[in-house]
Amino acid sequence: MIKYTITACSLAFLLALTSCGKKTSGLNGNSDSTAIKPVIITEAVRHDTDDPAIWLNPEDLSKSLIIGTDKDIDGALYVFDLQGKIIADKVVRNLKRPNNVDIAYGLMINGKATDIAVVTEREANKIRIFSLPDMKAIDNGGIEVFKGETVQAPMGISLYTRPSDKAIFAIVGRKSGPAEGYLWQYKLSDGGNGNVAAEVVRKFGKYSGKKEIESIAVDNESGYVYYSDEQVGVRKYYAEPEKGNNELALIANVGVTEDNEGISIYKTGEKTGYILVSDQGAGKFQIFPREGSASNPHEHKMIKSVKVTAFKSDGSDVTNVALNDQFKKGLFVAMSEGKVFHYYRWEDIIGAEK
């Protein structure tokens, strides 16, 4: 995924935010005056925001979209513009507890490169796949995951695009599962009749059993997958199935107030940048070097921790692409309690780089 940021807001801009109808009690999150403030708070969803993903519009970046889950038994997959407004005709409703969502570009369907949003539908034990930007279902009603398992209940998802052949894989986590082989990896392909098919190609990943695994993020260029084993840390593995199932690192495993949660990756180069991990209970994000240390690519020592206004953030996403005059160095999106998502400028999040 691609990532960006923003600087301090002017008084006029803050007044403009107020006029958007979002500055109401319960929507603003953490009231700590030292916390970094978003430049935009989205319109509220119906139930409970959980996880966002950023789709970059290749024809006009200023028309890029934020896709976000509304987690409930009659939940939805919401679509927002860069001003935080809900695009009503793109919202997908009647989903059974949609949990996490991710985006990939260029899956070949009927000979056409198709951008996709994939969401876990927890109560249906499925993943749902929608084409972008029209948000049309291309999954024949959904694809069952963890088939044959006692516990299914999919929660986390991240999409891996293999650089060598652009094959796309969905890496899916669940509410509970075994100590080994907790994540299942599916290869996505053209299933005919305009729909996507999925084949299990790998079962991997440790699970502590302490809480659950929800947030998953993939670094396509570096070839790694990261996932939050809550109350333990973020585990790192190879994203490519043929490279094996050995754990490479455990990061974000100290100094966490409650749960290590949302993961996003901001890229400054092909394999450089930052990994951001939500310290959910503290209203903070811990920031780590994407490339590791000079001597060890799997040694990720925390660079800094930043406090944000987003409250008890589960999920996040980030891009380094300049989207418009507001987000010149990228956009960081974080879920916040209050049924909203917060948009931050990357430069506000990273501050003075170390």
Task: Quick: pLDDT tens for 190-202.
Answer: 999 999 999 999 9
Residue 2: inside a domain, yes or no? Answer: no
For the chain, give the percent of residues with pLDDT over 70: 90
Confidence bin at 28 (pLDDT 50/70/90): low
Please enumerate in sequence order all residues whose Cβ is within 8 A of that of 340, keeping only pairs 6 or more positions apart, or say none.
Answer: 22, 27, 29, 41, 42, 43, 44, 45, 49
* Residue 31 confidence (pLDDT): 60
Interval 237-294: pLDDT, tens = 999 999 999 999 999 888 777 777 789 999 999 999 999 998 877 788 999 999 999 9
Distance CA 310, CA 123 (A): 27
Instruction: Provide the domain count of the chain.
Output: 1
In a domain, 160, yes or no: yes
In a domain, 208, yes or no: yes
Is the pLDDT at 34 greater than 90, yes or no? no
Q: Is the pLDDT of residue 26 over 50?
A: no
Q: What is the mean pLDDT of residues 137-144?
A: 97
Output the pLDDT for position 72.
96
Task: Note whether 233 and 213 are within 8 A (CB).
Answer: no
- 306 lies in a domain? yes
Please compute, for residue 201, the number of CA atoms within 13 A of its CA located in the half-sphere on the CB side: 20
pLDDT at 230: 86
Say what the pLDDT of residue 29 is. 58
- pLDDT of the residue at 299: 96
Residue 59 pLDDT > 60: yes
Pairing of strands 92-95, 126-132: unpaired
Three-state DSSP at 315 gives: coil
Residue 337 buriedness (CB in 10 A; 0-12 / 13-18 / 19+): middle
What distance in Å separates the CA atoms of residue 43 and residue 13, rounded to the nearest whole number? 17
pLDDT tens-digit map of 116-130: 999 999 999 999 999
* Highest averaged pLDDT of the listed ranges 6-10, 20-24, 349-353: 349-353
> Is residue 47 pLDDT above 80, yes or no?
yes
φ/ψ (deg, to 5) at 282: -100, -5
Residue 268 φ/ψ region, left for φ over 0, alpha for ψ in the -120 to 50 degree band, beta for the rest: alpha
Model-level pTM greater than 0.85? yes
**In this structure, is residue 284 part of a structural domain?**
yes
Q: What is the pLDDT of residue 280?
A: 73
Mean pLDDT of the chain: 90
Asked whether residue 263 is domain-assigned, the answer is: yes
What are the structure tokens assigned to 169, written together? 């894989």
pLDDT exceeds 60 at position 101: yes
- What does the block give as tokens for 205? 């990943």
142 φ, ψ (degrees, to nearest 5): 120, 155
Which pLDDT band, with edges at 50, 70 and 90, does 10 fall under? very low
- The pLDDT, as a whole number, for residue 24 is 34
- Domain residues for 161? 11-350
Residue 59 belongs to a domain with what CATH number? 2.120.10.30
pLDDT of residue 185 exceeding 70: yes
pLDDT value, residue 257: 74
**Torsion region of 263: left, alpha or beta (phi above 0 gives left; psi -120 to 50 gives alpha):** beta
CA neighbours within 13 Å on the CB side: how many for 134? 5
Residue 225 domain flag? yes
* Domain contains 5: no
Residue 20 has pLDDT above 50, yes or no: no
